[in-house]
Structures are given as C-alpha cells and as structure tokens.
C-alpha cells in the first residue's frame, strides 16, 4: 500500500528551558504541508526479512533510519513479526527542519498497524512515536495542525481552517537539530534581524531556534530580511531547527512568484518549492 508522508513547518516554536533529561521544554505549533514523501509498505507474510529502499542515496538504510526504527518499535510492541518491504520516495530534503524522517516513522507506524489489522490504538501509536522522536506524534494525528508540548511529543490537535500558500527555501546545507538546541542558551540576537513575533490571524509566529542558528549560518537571516521585504510575503520564518526558511503569501500565484525570485536570489544550489499547508 502507498501512503502520503507529509512535511511540516513550525508556525511557532518557543523554548521554555532545558530539562534535566537534556531535552528542552517547548511550546510549538506544527502544521502539515501538501508537500510530502511517498511511503510504500508491503507486508509479505511469514519470515523476518525487512527490505528498506529509498530514492535518496544519502538517507541511511540501516537501523538508524527512522522508518526502520518505527517498524522495529511496532513489532516489539505487538510481539508479532513478519517480512516487510518498505520503499521511501523522498521529496522532503533531510536536515531541513521539515520533519522528513519523523514523518516517515509516523507513516510506517500507522501503515504497518493498518496492514496488520489495527492491533494498536491511536494512543499507543502516539506513545510509540514519542519514543522514536519528539516530532513523530504530531504526524500520527491525521490533522492539519497540532500543538506540541513537553519536548514536543505531547500533542493536541487544533482547529486550522487556513490553507496557506507558502514557499520553502532550503540552502544547500543541513542543520543538525541537537546542535541548534545545544547552542540556544548561550546564543545572542544579531542586530538588524527581526526575531519579534509576527502577528497573523493564525497566531504569533516566531522561532526561538533562529537565534543560535543565525549566529553561525548568516545566509539565513539575510534570506529572512529579503523575504520580509517582498510585498507579497505576509510572514517569513525558519522552520524547526532549519535550514529551511518559509514565507507565507496570500495566493498560490504569489507563492510561485516568490519561488522564482528566490531561485534567482539564492542561486542554483538552493532547494525551492512552492506548496501549501494542510494535507
């Protein structure tokens, strides 16, 4: 069976402090995007073979792959084993702050549960997802948007009637999430960059991880300033721990226009994509 595995953006991400377990307490709103990977899952009956393949050669195919971790967690929890074939057709770039790996993990948990006759409840799938990664539970919920608390894994679905056109711009470098959180406490704001919440009908958009990330990756604050100068752009922010910046526009035509301008501004090496919230 083939499943859609959507990307996400964080409309806001507030860090409340560091916890004794090393994670950070956050308040975030995650919003699904139409852009996503495709995950094919086949339950092949008796045996214990797992064949994992991926269209992106840079994604590891061993036990560190989040899709593989999800399958292992599912089998451990149900106590049942079988042979599986999983293929990831990637559209979401890695290390982008778009939750690609987390989304694949959630899709495998839900998909394997479906194919095995639904032995696990939604609550159990969310709990398993939270053990794999903080972003995974949000993708288990089939909702356009959800709020994440705790380290992000305590999710509540929210009403989100907007289908916002947007542009995603990812420069040709990934940003490791642990590094961004580690740098947060010591980091300082750069002069001339807008960190203040941008007030929109769907809430006050800001991301506390911009501060540590912008200190090292100075192209990103430049890009944010440039995006905010474009008359079609309502709001612009870094997603998650970066390196993707997103800009919200009013119409799809405007999103396409900003995407074209961004390709010129950033050069050939940037990944630029127009999409929309809601999946």
Ligand X SMILES: C[C@](O)(CO)[C@H](O)COP(=O)(O)OP(=O)(O)OC[C@H]1O[C@@H](n2ccc(N)nc2=O)[C@H](O)[C@@H]1O
Ligand Y SMILES: Nc1ncnc2c1ncn2[C@@H]1O[C@H](COP(=O)(O)OP(=O)(O)OP(=O)(O)O)[C@@H](O)[C@H]1O
223 is in an annotated binding site: no
Whether omega before 22 lies within 30 degrees of 0, making that bond cis, reads no
Cβ proximity of 187 and 212 under 8 Å: yes
Query: What value, to the nearest 5°, has the Cα angle with vertex 35 and ends 214 and 269?
Result: 50
203 is in an annotated binding site: no
Q: Give the whole-angstrom CA distance, residue 191 versus residue 181.
A: 21
Sole binder of ligand Y in the list 111, 171, 212, 240 (CB under 6 A): 240
- Residue 129 beta carbon to ligand Y: minimum distance, rounded to whole angstroms: 12
Per rule CB under 6 A, is residue 5 in the interface with ligand Y? no
- Residue 18 beta carbon to ligand X: minimum distance, rounded to whole angstroms: 7
Closest to ligand X by CB, 82 or 197: 197
Long-range (24+ apart) CB contacts under 8 A made by 150-154 are: 150/25, 150/26, 151/19, 151/23, 151/24, 151/25, 151/26, 152/26, 152/28, 153/129, 154/130
Which stretch in 12-20, 65-73, 111-119, 189-197 sits in contact with ligand Y by CB under 6 A?
65-73
Per rule CB under 6 A, is residue 177 in the interface with ligand X? yes
150 is in an annotated binding site: no
37 annotated active-site: no
- When CB distances are held under 5 to 8 angstroms depending on the partner's kind, the choice from ligand X, ligand Y, none that residue 181 binds is ligand X
Closest to ligand X by CB, 151 or 211: 151
Per rule CB under 6 A, is residue 249 in the interface with ligand Y? no
- Residue 176 beta carbon to ligand X: minimum distance, rounded to whole angstroms: 8
Per rule CB under 6 A, is residue 101 in the interface with ligand Y? yes
Per rule CB under 6 A, is residue 28 in the interface with ligand Y? no
100 is in an annotated binding site: yes
Please list, in sequence order, all residues whose beta carbon lies within 8 angstroms of the beta carbon of residue 136, skipping any fewer than 6 positions away. 66, 70, 102, 105, 106, 109, 129, 130, 153
- When CB distances are held under 5 to 8 angstroms depending on the partner's kind, the choice from ligand Y, ligand X, none that residue 28 binds is ligand X
Which stretch in 73-81, 92-100, 118-126, 187-195 sits in contact with ligand Y by CB under 6 A?
92-100
Closest to ligand Y by CB, 82 or 177: 177
62 annotated active-site: no
Backbone angles phi, psi at 190, to 5 degrees: -85, 145
235 is in an annotated binding site: no
45 is in an annotated binding site: no
Active site residue ranges: 8, 135
Footprint on this chain of ligand X (rule: CB under 6 A): 10, 13, 23-24, 26, 28, 30, 97, 99, 102, 133-135, 151-152, 177-178, 181, 240-241
Footprint on this chain of ligand Y (rule: CB under 6 A): 59-60, 64-67, 88, 94-102, 104, 135, 177, 240-241
């Amino acid at each position: 069976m083939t499943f859609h595995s959507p990307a996400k953006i964080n409309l806001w991400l507030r860090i409340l402090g560091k916890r004794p377990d090393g994670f950070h307490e956050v308040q975030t709103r995650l919003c699904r995007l139409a852009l996503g990977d495709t995950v094919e899952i086949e339950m092949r009956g008796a045996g214990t073979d797992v064949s994992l393949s991926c269209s992106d050669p840079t994604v590891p195919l061993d036990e560190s792959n989040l899709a593989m971790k999800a399958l292992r967690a599912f089998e451990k929890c149900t106590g049942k084993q079988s042979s599986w074939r999983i293929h990831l057709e990637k559209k979401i770039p890695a290390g982008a702050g778009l939750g690609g790996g987390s989304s694949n993990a959630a899709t495998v948990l839900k998909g394997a549960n479906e194919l095995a006759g639904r032995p696990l409840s939604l609550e159990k799938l969310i709990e398993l997802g939270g053990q794999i990664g903080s972003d995974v539970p949000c993708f288990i919920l089939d909702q356009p948007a959800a709020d994440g608390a705790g380290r992000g894994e305590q999710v509540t679905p929210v009403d989100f009637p907007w289908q916002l056109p947007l542009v995603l711009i990812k420069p040709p470098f990934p940003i490791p999430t642990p590094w961004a959180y580690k740098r947060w406490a010591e980091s300082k704001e750069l002069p001339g960059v807008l960190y203040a919440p941008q007030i929109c009908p769907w809430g006050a958009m800001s991301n506390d991880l911009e501060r540590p990330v912008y200190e090292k990756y100075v192209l990103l604050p430049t890009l944010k300033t440039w995006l905010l100068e474009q008359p079609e752009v309502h709001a612009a922010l870094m997603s998650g721990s970066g390196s993707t910046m997103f800009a919200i526009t009013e119409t799809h035509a405007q999103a396409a226009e900003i995407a074209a301008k961004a390709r010129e501004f950033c050069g050939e090496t940037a990944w630029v994509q127009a999409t929309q919230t809601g999946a």
